[in-house]
Amino acid sequence: MLILPKNERQIDWSFSYITQPINSDLATLVSGDRQKVTLLDRNFSPKYEYQLPDEISCLAISAKGDLLAAIMANGNHLAIVTAENELVFEEQLPNPSRDNGFEDCWFDVDGLRFWCMKVIEGEEVEIQIRDTNSWQIQRKVLLEDPFGSSCFSFHPHPENQILAISAAEGQGGQQIYWLYDDGTTIHTVEFPCHYDTAPPEFHPAGGEFVVVHDCGRQISRFSFPECNLLGICQWPHADDGFGYYMCYLSDDRILVNTDEGLMYLIDINKMEISDQLILIGHEPRSCNELYPNLKDFEEGICGDLHCFYRFDSDSILSVHSQVLSQEPRSKQKTLVIFGGKEIFGSLAKVQPSAPYSKLLIQSLGIS
């Protein structure tokens, strides 16, 4: 399937991520020195700019884009700044070390809670909820690091009541937890998953999710919160493999990248690849043609895709290498917005009553 991009822009900055998975139209860009943050709207026009005092390792943006939380200095410095670059809160650890430090953070969409996690001695992670007025810790819970020296990350459920946390170690070990805050206690539920499982990608309505596992050889579809297996899509070739960027385009179709910079449509009812998606101007080429300066590429076809994210209800933002001969890790990138009825279909929306979160809450015995 050939798709014509709606908008493109070349940048010389490193790219971070989309601020919200579904209901935001802001993209977050981090400068090459990893200290300047720019929020762009869907026309690639700057909306806010933040200047931070140290190198950023992780950041989160409030739903309105007017507050930025940044974890800096290898996890030893947490700062909250306004759109006017006014510092409203910061915490610097007194005894910095590689085994202690802030790991990830997240603003609730309603703006009432700020989630933060802090690694303790490389053996536990402390999940914190902070009040967005005082920024003081209101509630916290400790999770044992299942692998030791894991990397932890937050992944919000669309209903804004459940937060997933992923723990991963470098050799493929992965564990996923569901977190629920009842206002008094943070409850944790362990999701039994395969050894090598990527973080969950939730359906926008919240009733299911997909994960990539087995080193990119499979995509599995699960119901939420029951976690019943609904189907498995196997990668059909000996080379390449599913990447870790996915999003739902409709109730029966997802988009996924591959390790070699390609994009495919997956029919999730049949759990099989239905088509390849190709952006005009970013067509796949032989790896040697696309990156002639790199010597270790094997013969084959690859694309210039770096990553993609769901931008809003009917658009995808993708990030591509800017010019031929460039290394894939280069900071010079091309931003592309594409979408429309050509690829999007009927897609159930999140319900204000949060039915799927309620099912998980009931399973915890909480009224």
Q: How does pLDDT run across 315-324, given as a tens digit for each residue? A: 898 989 866 5
Greater confidence, 340 or 288?
340
**Is the pLDDT assigned to residue 44 strictly greater than 90?**
no
Q: Specify the pLDDT at position 104.
A: 92
CB 168 within 8 A of CB 174: yes
CB atoms < 10 A from the CB of 325, how many?
A: 12
Q: Specify the pLDDT at position 22.
A: 45
CB atoms < 10 A from the CB of 92, how many?
A: 12
Q: Are strands 305-312 and 218-223 parallel, antiparallel or unpaired?
A: unpaired
As a whole number of angstroms, the distance between CA 321 and CA 10 comes to 9
| CB neighbour class for 365 (10 Å; exposed up to 12, middle 13-18, buried from 19) | exposed
- What are the distances in angstroms from CA 178 to CA 69, 226, 271? 22, 12, 25
As a whole number of angstroms, the distance between CA 143 and CA 124 comes to 6
Greater confidence, 189 or 11?
189
**pTM to 2 decimal places:** 0.90
Q: Tens of pLDDT along 229-250? A: 999 999 998 888 999 899 999 9
Question: What does the pLDDT average to over 273-285?
Answer: 94
pLDDT band of 206, cuts 50, 70, 90: very high
Question: What does the pLDDT average to over 48-65?
Answer: 85
Q: Where are the alpha helices (DSSP H) in 94-241?
A: none
pLDDT-above-70 percentage for the chain: 88
pLDDT-above-90 percentage for the chain: 49
Q: Specify the pLDDT at position 341.
A: 87
Integer-rounded Cα Rg, in Å, for the chain is 20
Q: Specify the pLDDT at position 294.
A: 67
**b/e sequence 57-70, b meaning 16+ C-beta within 10 Å:** bbbbbbbebebbbb
pLDDT band of 21, cuts 50, 70, 90: very low
Greater confidence, 273 or 196?
273
The closest alpha carbon to 59, from 41, 78, 87, 83, belongs to 78
Lowest mean pLDDT among 134-138, 219-223, 324-328: 324-328
Residue 233's SS3 state is strand
Q: How many residues does the chain have?
A: 367
Q: Specify the pLDDT at position 311.
A: 81
Cα-based torsion angle of the residue sequence 57, 63, 64, 70 in order, rounded to the nearest 10 degrees: -20
CB 235 within 8 A of CB 257: no
What residues have CB less than 8 Å from 229, skipping those under 6 apart?
A: 220, 221, 222
- Chain Cα centroid distance, residue 135: 24
In 3-state terms the chain splits into helix, strand, coil percentages (rounded to 5) of 5, 50, 45
**Is the pLDDT assigned to residue 213 strictly greater than 90?**
no
Question: What does the pLDDT average to over 15-34?
Answer: 60
Q: Specify the pLDDT at position 32.
A: 59
Tokens 């206690």 correspond to 185
Backbone angles phi, psi at 167, to 5 degrees: -115, 125
Q: Tens of pLDDT along 80-126? A: 999 888 999 999 988 766 678 899 999 988 888 999 999 887 788 99
Q: Specify the pLDDT at position 20.
A: 47
Helices (H) and strands (E) in the chain, counts: 2, 31
What are the structure tokens assigned to 348, written together? Answer: 């159930």
How many CA within 13 A on the CB side of residue 343?
Answer: 30
Q: Specify the pLDDT at position 330.
A: 60
Q: Specify the pLDDT at position 345.
A: 93
As a whole number of angstroms, the distance between CA 128 and CA 142 comes to 9
Mean pLDDT of all residues belonging to the chain = 86
Tokens 């009432």 correspond to 112
As a whole number of angstroms, the distance between CA 71 and CA 94 comes to 15
Lowest mean pLDDT among 178-182, 208-212, 280-284, 361-365: 361-365
